[in-house]
Amino acid sequence: MRKKIVAGNRKMNTTLEEGIQLAGSIEQMLSHSKFSNVVVIIAPPFTHLTGVSKILKTGYVELGAQNCGYESKGAYTGEVSAPMLKSAGVKYVIIGHSERRTYFRETDEELNMKAKLVLDNGMKPIFCCGESLAERNQGNHFDVVKRQIDEGIFNLSKEEFRNIVIAYEPVWAIGTGVNATPEQAQEMHIYIRGLIAERHNNVIAQTTSILYGGSCKPSNAQELFRKPDVDGGLIGGASLNAMDFIGIINAAAMIES
Ligand code: PEP
């Protein structure tokens, strides 16, 4: 019922030339495999979007962005708005990545405004949530994720919610080499799906894609993606290497949805 999704978050990495080359290699490798059961997304830095968009011609790879402003235009020096992303060919926007929440102090209220703007402009938010190590050690991980989702996206209508993708990314797993176990991921994903069923209904809960993110690589992707409520991955470091990223896509493609 739910297609697997593999989304590459390139963060603040690669020059324009390197970024375009990497996207080209991925698209070329994918054109030989023609997966129909995996949605592949690349989210490069803003300055690469139009260049990458021009080379993504085959339709195997969708364009994503890593963030957007919480207003749609005006005097917000340095910000990039949802309408601008839309006009650059972006289909998905990562909202609320833990690095944005921590280093740029983005609040739940701002993230909610961003998610709404992304939807209003016909794109899909990839809404990130996840607890810190201290929060998990205190046994607060479910409460933290519930609060982030409640305040970030639960005021959206049923219609809007149909276009939401959620990424559960435990902060302690991001870029550390220590992934959540498949059981830890599954436990949180099914909890999130339960929250969606309570807030909306079971149909929406069953059709919402919930990705796992945090040190996902070709060697662990398959066991993570095999869990019934893990609908793919948001990939950081491993998306910077074409072979690794393709390895993760292959892992997703081998699992029947
Ligand atoms: C991320 O930043 O979204 C992420 C999952 O990073 P990594 O795969 O490097 O842990």
Nearest CA to ligand 1 atom 6: 236
Question: Cα(239) to centroid of ligand 1, in Å?
Answer: 9
pTM: 0.97
CB-CB neighbours of 109 under 10 Å: 11
* Residues making up the chain, counted from first to last: 257
From the list 89, 83, 111, the residue with the least C-alpha distance to 41 is 89
State which ligand 1 atom lies nearest to the alpha carbon of 233.
5
Pocket of ligand 1 (CB under 6 A): 9, 97, 169, 174-175, 213-216, 234-238
pLDDT tens per residue, range 9-40 = 999 999 999 999 999 999 999 988 767 889 99
Choice from 126, 216, 245 to test ligand 1 binding pocket (greatest atom count within 8 A of CB): 216
pLDDT tens per residue, range 39-58 = 999 999 999 999 999 999 88
Question: Cα(130) to centroid of ligand 1, in Å?
Answer: 12
Q: What is d(CA 211, CA 174) in angstroms, rounded to the nearest whole number?
A: 14
Question: Cα(201) to centroid of ligand 1, in Å?
Answer: 30
Nearest CA to ligand 1 atom 7: 236
Relative orientation angle of helices 141-153 and 182-199, to the nearest 10 degrees: 40
Token pair recorded at residue 219 = 């060697």
Please provide the average confidence, as pLDDT, over all residues in the chain: 96
Q: What is the mean pLDDT of residues 63-90?
A: 98
Token pair recorded at residue 130 = 């996840």
Three-state SS letters, 149-217: HHHHHCCCCHHHHCCCEEEECCHHHCCCCCCCCHHHHHHHHHHHHHHHHHHCCHHHHHHCEEEEECCCC
pLDDT tens per residue, range 84-137 = 999 999 999 999 999 999 999 999 999 999 999 999 999 999 999 999 999 999
State which ligand 1 atom lies nearest to the alpha carbon of 11.
2
User: Which residues are identified as catalytic?
Assistant: 97, 169
Question: Cα(164) to centroid of ligand 1, in Å?
Answer: 19
243 CB-near residues (< 8 Å, 6+ apart):
none
Nearest CA to ligand 1 atom 4: 236
